[in-house]
């Protein structure tokens, strides 16, 4: 049974996420795929991607995203179909406050074994240069090791983060990327059993899962069932992505605590809507350039429970230099960001569509 989800009144406006102040209380923000097409790499400063929303990430305790590309600085940057990023692209995300990253997705093995090793080195170098905690999960350098959750202790709360993907574009036989296909009963049950064994070690266990069909706004019943099983096994939050468009979210009561499922968080940043026509707001492709940040409050006292969930619609848009960046849809629709009238009208219509979509989850 769905527990109440707190959304801003009538979805007419969206309040900013707020940081938790009390010990054993965490504020978290979840966003979707951080992608990098060729147009994204041509930016003057990657930090500009985040300037419209980073105040949220810098104010909360944890910001969680899916990094959908290897980061191998020994190879050139590349977009679709074989992605590769650089250290500056990764660093810009961290500087904006993103401190929990999934590395398990269908593009994780685009660079082969060397791409895995270089991505691990890039994460290690980032940690060392930041001088503050950052968590990532989903890949490993030792094919005989374990895919174990990364962990952080924040405000006295032990947080575990474990990432898996349903499939890879370039299979690696399960050596370096954690692959769990929920349609494979044996693999799914083994993963559920593992979650059950490790969950007592954490106050909050976040499972990141990359899978489903691209561009589908409908959640398959088998995926829905698997995500509910993850909560039953001990996960506190299931954070999912891959369709490149948003699906819904759900708060579920499990053994006296409220837990959270995000069925698909869509794209946070990409180049997919680079050629979008602002005169056609009904174009389905527009959905690949918009999503929502999900702001989540968790209270921990005798067990952790999700106490507040608030979606904040966001969209990709071209800044004054023609670079793809992110902002709140309300800022784009209502003139807080200077845009040509045709684009302002476009985002106003897209905001209404997103509000109608989100209204279904406020019931």
| CATH code for position 16 | 3.60.21.10
Whether 330 and 355 have beta carbons less than 8 Å apart is answered as: no
Q: What is the pLDDT of residue 173?
A: 87
Let me know if residue 203 belongs to a domain. yes
How many domains does the chain contain in total? Answer: 1
Spatial distance between the Cα atoms of 25 and 268, rounded to a whole number of angstroms:
26
Let me know if residue 4 belongs to a domain. no
3-state SS assignment for residue 320: coil
Hey, what are 47's tokens?
A: 């930090």
Let me know if residue 224 belongs to a domain. yes
Q: What is the pLDDT of residue 19?
A: 56
Q: What's the DSSP call for residue 179?
A: B
Which tens digits make up the pLDDT trace of 202-241? 999 999 999 999 999 999 999 999 999 999 999 999 999 9
Q: Say if residue 185 is exposed, middle or buried (CB neighbours under 10 Å; 0-12, 13-18, 19+).
A: exposed
Q: How many CB atoms lie within 10 A of CB 9?
A: 9
Please calculate the CA angle 22-26-32 and round it to the nearest 5 degrees.
155
Let me know if residue 2 belongs to a domain. no
Q: What is the pLDDT of residue 168?
A: 98
Whether 75 and 119 have beta carbons less than 8 Å apart is answered as: no
The domain containing residue 286 runs over which residues? 9-359
Q: Which residues of the chain have pLDDT under 50?
A: 1-15
Let me know if residue 120 belongs to a domain. yes
Whether 94 and 64 have beta carbons less than 8 Å apart is answered as: no
Say which residues have a Cβ less than 8 Å from residue 322's Cβ, sequence separation at least 6. Answer: none
Give pTM, 2 decimals: 0.94
Let me know if residue 254 belongs to a domain. yes
Q: What's the DSSP call for residue 169?
A: S
H or E element at residue 343: helix 341-359
Q: What is the pLDDT of residue 10?
A: 33
Q: What is the pLDDT of residue 87?
A: 97
Please calculate the CA angle 290-296-300 and round it to the nearest 5 degrees.
165
Q: What is the pLDDT of residue 3?
A: 38
Let me know if residue 1 belongs to a domain. no
Q: What is the pLDDT of residue 362?
A: 80
Which tens digits make up the pLDDT trace of 291-326? 999 999 999 998 999 999 999 999 999 999 999 999
Say which residues have a Cβ less than 8 Å from residue 50's Cβ, sequence separation at least 6. Answer: 57, 92, 93, 95, 96, 97, 325, 326
What's the N-to-C CA distance of the chain in angstroms? 12
Hey, what are 49's tokens?
A: 């991607």
3-state SS assignment for residue 127: helix
């Amino acid at each position: 049974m769905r527990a109440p989800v707190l959304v801003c009144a009538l979805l007419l406006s969206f309040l900013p996420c707020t940081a938790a102040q009390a010990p054993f209380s965490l504020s978290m923000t979840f966003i979707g795929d951080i992608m990098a097409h060729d147009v994204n790499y041509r930016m003057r400063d990657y930090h500009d991607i985040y300037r419209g929303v980073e105040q949220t990430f810098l104010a909360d305790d944890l910001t969680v995203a899916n990094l959908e590309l290897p980061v191998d600085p020994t190879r050139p940057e590349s977009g679709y179909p074989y992605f590769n990023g650089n250290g500056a692209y990764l660093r810009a995300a961290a500087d904006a406050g993103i401190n929990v990253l999934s590395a398990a997705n269908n593009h994780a093995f685009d660079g082969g074994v060397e791409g895995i090793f270089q991505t691990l080195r890039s994460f290690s170098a980032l940690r060392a240069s930041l001088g503050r905690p950052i968590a990532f999960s989903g890949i490993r350098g030792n094919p005989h090791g374990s895919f174990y959750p990364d962990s952080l202790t924040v405000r006295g709360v032990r947080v575990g983060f474990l990432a898996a993907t349903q499939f890879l574009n370039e299979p690696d036989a399960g050596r370096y990327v954690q692959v769990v296909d929920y349609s494979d009963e044996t693999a799914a049950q083994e993963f559920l059993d593992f979650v059950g064994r490790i969950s007592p070690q954490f106050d909050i266990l976040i499972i990141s899962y990359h899978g489903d069909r691209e561009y589908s706004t409908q959640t398959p019943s088998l995926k829905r069932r698997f995500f509910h099983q993850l909560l039953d096994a001990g996960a506190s939050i299931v954070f999912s992505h891959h369709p490149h468009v948003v699906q819904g979210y759900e708060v579920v009561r499990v053994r006296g605590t409220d837990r959270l499922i995000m069925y698909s968080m869509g794209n946070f940043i990409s180049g997919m809507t680079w050629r979008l026509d602002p005169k056609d707001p009904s174009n389905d492709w527009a959905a690949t350039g918009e999503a929502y940040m999900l702001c989540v409050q968790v209270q921990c006292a005798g067990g952790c429970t999700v106490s507040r969930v608030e979606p904040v619609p966001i969209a990709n848009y071209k800044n004054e230099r023609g670079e793809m960046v992110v902002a709140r849809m309300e800022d784009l629709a209502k003139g807080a960001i200077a845009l040509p009238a045709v684009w302002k009208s476009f985002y106003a219509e897209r905001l209404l569509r997103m509000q109608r979509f989100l209204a279904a989850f406020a019931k």
